């Protein structure tokens, strides 16, 4: 789902944790501030002195980053993966089961897996799952990785 400049900062971050780094790069440092739950990206950016052109460039970059990924990860999933995968080259593999997706920690991707890497985290997606995962979100609840 596209991130828009009228979206609340907190909502954008929840949908696309990768957007934090991009917003901060452009000078929008209120991503962790209490105001982020009440302020749109555009309002926050203007409060930090950004021009309309800079806001449009930032939004383009945020959405480009979002479009590249077949899957988004929640902050809980990122934190759980960091904890579980720290100091290893292992990754989380997502494949198709009978009715649901199967997630498991593996040492390396399978031959035809799509490999996503970001900030030291690796996710391996079974090629046949790629289209089914677009627009989905990986979350971590009750000790399990789940796809919503």
Q: Where are the domains of the chain?
A: 9-68, 71-147
Give the pLDDT score at 141.
95
Average pLDDT over residues 82-107: 91
Hey, what CATH topology would domain 9-68 get?
A: SP0561-like (1.10.3910)
| Domain 9-68 matches domain 71-147 at the CATH topology level | no
Write down the pTM of the prediction.
Answer: 0.55
Q: pLDDT tens digits, residue range 95-115?
A: 998 888 999 999 999 998 888
Give the pLDDT score at 66.
62
| Class of the domain covering 71-147 | mainly beta
3-state DSSP of the chain: CCCCCCCEHHHHHHHCCCHHHHHHHCCCCHHHCHHHHCCEHHHHHHHCCCCHHHHHHHHHHHHHHHHHCCEEECHHHHHHHHHHHCCCCCEEEEEECCCCEEEEEECCCCCCCEEEEECCEEEEECHHHHHHHCCEEEEEECCEEEEC
Give the pLDDT score at 87.
77
């Amino acid at each position: 789902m596209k991130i828009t400049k009228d979206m609340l900062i907190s909502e954008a971050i929840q949908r696309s944790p990768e957007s934090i780094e991009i917003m901060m790069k452009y000078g929008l440092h209120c991503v962790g501030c209490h105001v982020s739950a009440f302020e749109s990206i555009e309002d926050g950016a203007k409060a930090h002195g950004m021009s309309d052109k800079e806001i449009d460039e930032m939004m383009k970059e945020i959405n480009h980053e979002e479009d590249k990924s077949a899957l988004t990860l929640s902050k809980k999933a990122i934190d759980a993966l960091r904890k579980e995968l720290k100091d290893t080259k292992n990754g989380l593999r997502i494949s198709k089961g009978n009715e649901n997706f199967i997630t498991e920690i593996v040492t390396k991707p399978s031959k035809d897996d799509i490999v996503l890497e970001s900030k030291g985290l690796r996710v391996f997606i079974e090629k046949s799952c790629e289209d089914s995962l677009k627009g989905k979100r990986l979350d971590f609840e009750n000790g399990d990785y789940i796809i919503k």
